Structure 1
Amino acid sequence: MRSKMAALFLLLVLVLVLLLFLQRFSSSSYRPPPHRPASHRTGPTQPGSSEGDGLQYGVMFDAGSTGTRVHVFRFRMENRGFPSLDRETFRAIKPGLSAYADDPQKCSAGIMALLDLARSVVPPSQWTRTPVVLKATAGLRLLPGDKAEQLLDRVRALFRESPFLSTEDGVSIMDGTDEGISAWITINFLTGGLQGPDRPTVGMLDLGGGSTQITFSPRHEKTIQMSPIDDIRSFQMFNRTHTVYTHRYTHRLHTQLKASVCFCVPTAGGSAERVSPCLAPGFSGSWEHADIVYILKGQKEGEPVYEACLNKVQKVLYRKLSAVPEAADIDFYAFSFYYDRAVNLQAIDEATGGTIRVSDYGQAAERVCRGPPHLQNPFLCLDLVYISVLLQELGFPAHKQLRLARTVRQVEASWALGAAFQHLEALRRD
């Protein structure tokens, strides 16, 4: 009897010891995952990071006057912080945001469609660390402040509801100077000028109907010292400090010129009749600007169109611009009207671009102004004279060659890519 009791007691002791051992082993093998609060701001993947295999995405909205475009960039972060552009996805919709100034809610459908495109391109695992940015340009700049801000507030709300990384400063109206700097970053990234201090950079010329922009990186300290302080900007990009000269002439010279090259005779119907020295004899047509329709007429037969137009343009531009230091020494890319008018002249291929000398614009202006009316573009004579005089006033010599391009390495040479880099750089610093 005692032996049975002893055996049962021993068995119970062994069971208890076994249970204690199992409990201790279990508690020492399991650790609950640490709590990680959601973060609304993260920087881009650093070189060598295993997350996303070194990939970083960025979503950039370009809200222009005629439409809204989205660029979805995929970068590979490598080579000591210098990224490579792995892929770009692009889509555009019309009209522009400014068309919804009286009813901001109506812009939602278009913005959501472009966000859906971004969601289909960016892997879900990358959504919360992919910044989404909207920069508005000409269209919203012209709206009254409250209407523009209401549109931007609506976009901010849509971005916050999206799965992407959204910040308050990620939706804004782009300053004209920043637009020029962003375009400079884009073109120099694509041409390799930003890859190291020993790589030469190129300058950027842009010409629209309302303004002209010039941006380049000075090679001589004297240029920086002699330039107005507001024309010199420094910024960090790809672990280097870049200093650029940038100036935007916002006098709306070109539009102003079209409105002032003629003698104005207002009519009872709210229109104005103008006789232009830059239009061919016998020409008759119309032009609308600032809600006024101008009836345009060419000069009388026998009048010297080229000489009269050149004289008028020179008077309008006189002392409006400053000669650009180093303009003769630095390679420049030119965009917008420079490109379009060279295509009109068949001086470059419309798809691939090319090069043109400054003197080519002047020679073409003389030929076009003295020739028959250009039916497709009656302002071609004026545009060419304007470009020729503008470049001379900026200090470009007649023999200077400009490179004209819409894309570089099959990527659109616009400010969007440069602005995306600037936003990623700001996130990295934060």
Structure 2
Amino acid sequence: MKKPKLAGAFILACCLLAYLMFVKRHYAAAPHAAFRLPPHVPPASQPGGPATRGRFQYGIMFDAGSTGTRIHVFQFQLEQNEAPKLAHETFKAIKPGLSAYADDPDKCTAGILELLAVARDSVPLHLWSSTPLVLRATAGLRLLPGQKATQLLDRVRALFTESPFLSRNDSVSIMDGTDEGISAWITINFLTGGLHGADSPTVGMLDLGGGSTQITFRPQDEKTIQTSPVDHISSFRMFNNTHTLYSHSYLGLGLMSARLAVLGGTEGQTAGGSSELVSPCLAPLYVGQWEHGDVVYTVRGQKAGEPVYESCRTKVEKVLYKKVTRAAEAENVDFYAFSYYYDRAVDLGAIEGEKGGSIKVSDYIDAAKRVCGGVSVSPAQSPFLCLDLTYISVLLQELGFSPDKHFKLARTINEVETSWALGATFHYIESLHSHM
């Protein structure tokens, strides 16, 4: 009698094993489940692992800028009824930007795959399918003809779909300029503590990229909200609080696009059929080459004897005429300034390259006068430094800032890069929750 019992037990064990293998294959082959993580509540711990493993969530953000593509892999620690804490960031950048592949989208594949490999190395395998993967393109793609931008994004979208991460229809897109400003505002105020409570003081954000520039701050006076252009006021909900912001992006007024306009060129084409540009913002008799938007320009200074700074400032003022709105109340708000505001301050020696610091509008004005007047700042001084500094100083005044206004300059806070990427990742995860 023992043999039939043993045979029956063996058959039962085989059936159970076959069933378990079927279930495993079924779930492995099923599509990724929609990302679902209750706001600020730690998910259940992973079986067989330490309890702290389940308290972390990841987000992957690709920043497709005009000069390069950067990946940010954020690790968030989640606590019940509290805003998430940033536990770690992995960062890598590659050049050139996606827009450089506008005529051959397939050539962007290698760079995107290189950055996806960084994501695989940074996110635990068991969390791949629940980690949102997002790419947001900025001014570089906004300035491309629509079809070329679409083809580039379609190629990236295909690569994201093939990846093991959570990718949806809205995972790859061109970021609206206002959203870029709001996302950067979220980043800086998350890092400085401004989002940790409804009454926490916040700071404003100024960003000067290559193709666009943004200004964002939270008004304290209701009159500012009522009298500002309708499209300059935005409201959103974040960490259980509603924030109303003044935020606007000026496409075409980023430093590289503005440089082209001041030199007399036109975005997307050569000036009057010629690639030679003559400008009062360059040193007299200077001749050189400058590449922008896949066009190599020959640039020349005007003849000697003309006042360089005054002529350059007049040209910049014409380029900015009636293109910028003065932001009411901005003068009274504490601001952080990023990107080319930071880089040109480093060029002047006003701040250290790694530590940052602070600067006044008048510092940019005085430096522009000094550089345009022929006083060298460094042996490797850019021939465009006079133009860039004049543009920055005029732009800040057009935005409503007095020469005495101070700005804080920082590339990182608590070792986290002060870009829009962190804020955009928070914003995306919140949107996933709201659509559940």
Smaller-chain TM-score bracket: 0.7 to 0.9
Distance in 2, matches of 1:372 and 1:262, equals 25
Superposed CA deviations along residues 364-399 of structure 1, whole A, max 9, x for unmatched, are 222222234666212222222222222122111222
Structure 1 residue 315 displacement after superposition:
3.6
Q: Counterparts of 1:84-95 in structure 2 under 5 Å?
A: 84-95=85-96
Question: By how many angstroms is 1:48 displaced?
Answer: 4.3
1:428 maps onto 2:433 in alignment = yes
Pick from 381, 395, 403: which aligns with 2:400? 395
Asked if 1:365 corresponds to 2:368, the answer is yes
What is the DSSP-based 3-state SS (H/G/I as helix, E as strand, rest coil) of the residue aligned with 2:84?
strand
Aligned residue runs from structure 1 range 260-275, under 5 A = 260=262, 270-272=274-276, 274=278
Question: Equivalent residue of 2:309, what SS?
Answer: helix
Q: Does the residue aligned with 1:328 lie in a helix, a strand or coil?
A: helix
Match of 2:352 among 333, 349, 354: 349
Question: What is the rounded CA distance, in whole Å, between the counterparts of 2:263 and 2:31 in structure 1?
Answer: 61
Over alpha carbons, which structure has the higher Rg?
1
Work out whether residues 287 and 296 of structure 1, in 8 Å CA contact, stay in contact via their aligned partners in 2.
no
Deviations 1:293-349 (A, max 9, x none): 233124423x33223323333343333322111112111011122111111111111
**Aligned mates of 1:284, 1:74 — CA distance in 2:** 49
The alpha-carbon distance between structure 1 residues 170 and 280, as it changes in their structure 2 partners (threshold 3 A), is same
| Paired residue secondary structure (2:197) | coil
Gaps of 5+ in 2: 46-52
Partners of 2:115 and 2:401 in 1: how far apart?
41
Query: What does residue 50 of structure 2 align with?
Result: none
Q: Tell me the secondary structure at the aligned position of residue 366 of structure 1.
A: helix
Q: Report the Cα distance in structure 2 between the residues aligned to 1:72 and 1:341, rounded to whole angstroms.
A: 28
Question: How far does residue 212 in structure 1 lie from its aligned partner after superposition?
Answer: 2.1
Indicate the residue corresponding to 1:50 in structure 2: 44
Deviations 1:78-125 (A, max 9, x none): 151400000111122333333433443343333223222212221122
1:216 aligns with 2:221: no
Partner of 2:322, secondary structure, is: coil
For residue 385 of structure 1, the aligned residue among 374, 381, 390 is 390
Describe the shift of the 1:409–1:300 C-alpha distance in structure 2 as closer, same or farther (beyond 3 A). Answer: same
Of 267, 284, 299, the residue aligned with 1:281 is 284
Is 2:289 the partner of 1:295? no
Q: CA deviation at 1:173?
A: 1.4
Distance 1:139-1:249 versus aligned 2 partners, 3 A rule: closer
**In 2, distance between residues paired with 1:139 and 1:130?**
27
Indicate which of 311, 315, 324 corresponds to 1:312: 315
Work out which of the residue numbers 404, 412, 416 in structure 2 matches 1:407. 412
SS of corresponding position for 1:218: coil
**Corresponding position: 1:41 with 2:34:** yes
Work out the CA distance in 2 between the residues paired with 1:116 and 1:92.
13
Distance, in Å, in 1 between the alignment partners of 2:337 and 2:121 is 34
Structure 1 residues 399 and 292, CA gap change in structure 2 (3 angstroms): same
TM-score, normalising length: structure 1: 0.84
Structure 2 distance, partners of 1:232, 1:268, is 38
Deviates more, 1:185-194 or 1:361-370: 361-370
Q: CA RMSD in A?
A: 3.2
The verdict on how the C-alpha distance between 1:317 and 1:192 changes in structure 2, with shifts beyond 3 A counting, is same
Asked if the contact 2:58/2:75 (under 8 Å) is kept, the reply is: yes
Q: Structure 1 residues 140-149 or 196-205, which shifts more?
A: 140-149
Give distance in 2, aligned partners of 1:262 and 1:174: 28
Q: Structure 1's 114 and 261: CA in aligned 2 closer, same or farther, altered over 3 A? A: closer
1:152-179: CA deviation from partner (whole Å, max 9, x where unpaired): 2222222222221111101111112211
Residue range with higher mean Cα deviation, 404-413 or 117-126: 117-126
Distance 1:398 1:270 in 2: 38
Q: 1:232 Cα shift?
A: 0.6
Counterpart of 1:137, as a letter, is T
User: 2-side partners of 1:40 and 1:184: how far apart?
Assistant: 31
TM-score norm. by structure 2 comes to 0.83
Q: CA deviation at 1:425?
A: 0.4
Per the TM alignment, residue 282 of structure 1 is displaced from its structure 2 partner at its CA by 4.0
Residue 74 of structure 1 aligns to which amino acid in structure 2?
A: Q
Q: Give the direction of change, closer, same or farther, for the CA distance of 1:366–1:189 in structure 2 (3 Å limit).
A: same
Q: 1:147 to 1:279 in 2, by over 3 A?
A: closer
1:300 partner amino acid: A
Other-structure match for 1:226: 227
Q: 1:397 to 1:168 in 2, by over 3 A?
A: same
Asked whether the equivalents of residues 62 and 69 of structure 1 are also in contact (C-alpha less than 8 Å), the reply is: yes
Letter in 2 for 1:104: P
User: Unaligned stretches of 5+ in structure 1?
Assistant: 1-18
Aligned AA for 1:91?
K
Which has the higher mean CA deviation after the structures are superposed, 93-102 or 329-338? Answer: 93-102
Q: 1:143 to 1:261 in 2, by over 3 A?
A: closer
Q: Secondary structure, in 3 states, of the residue corresponding to 2:331?
A: coil
Q: CA deviation at 1:47?
A: 1.7
Instruction: Between 325-334 and 309-318, report the one with greater CA deviation.
Output: 309-318
How far apart in 1 are the matches of 2:236 and 2:99?
31
Q: Is contact 2:262-2:316 (8 Å) kept? A: no
Q: Is the 8 A contact 2:83 2:239 kept in 1?
A: yes
Residue by residue over 1:381-430, the C-alpha shift from the partner in whole angstroms, topping out at 9 and shown as x without a partner, is: 22222222221221112221100111111111111111110111011112
Q: 2: distance between equivalents of 1:128 and 1:271?
A: 49
Q: Which amino acid aligns with 1:123?
A: P
What do the CA deviations read for 1:186-228 (whole angstroms, capped 9, x no partner)?
1111111110012111111112343321011111111111111
Counterparts in 2 of 1:253 and 1:167: CA distance versus 1, 3 Å? closer
CA distance in 2, matches of 1:86, 1:195: 16
SS at match of 2:72: strand
CA distance in 2 between partners of 1:384 and 1:154 (Å): 38
The amino acid of 1:377's aligned partner reads S
Is the 1:262–1:277 contact (alpha carbons within 8 Å) kept by the matching residues of 2? no
C-alpha distance 167-262 of structure 1, shift in aligned 2 (>3 A): closer
Q: Which residue identity is paired with 1:411? A: V
Shift of 1:269: 9.4
Displacement after TM superposition at 1:260 (Å):
4.4
Q: For 1:405 and 1:49, how far apart are their aligned partners in 2?
A: 34
What residue identity is the alignment partner of 1:174? M
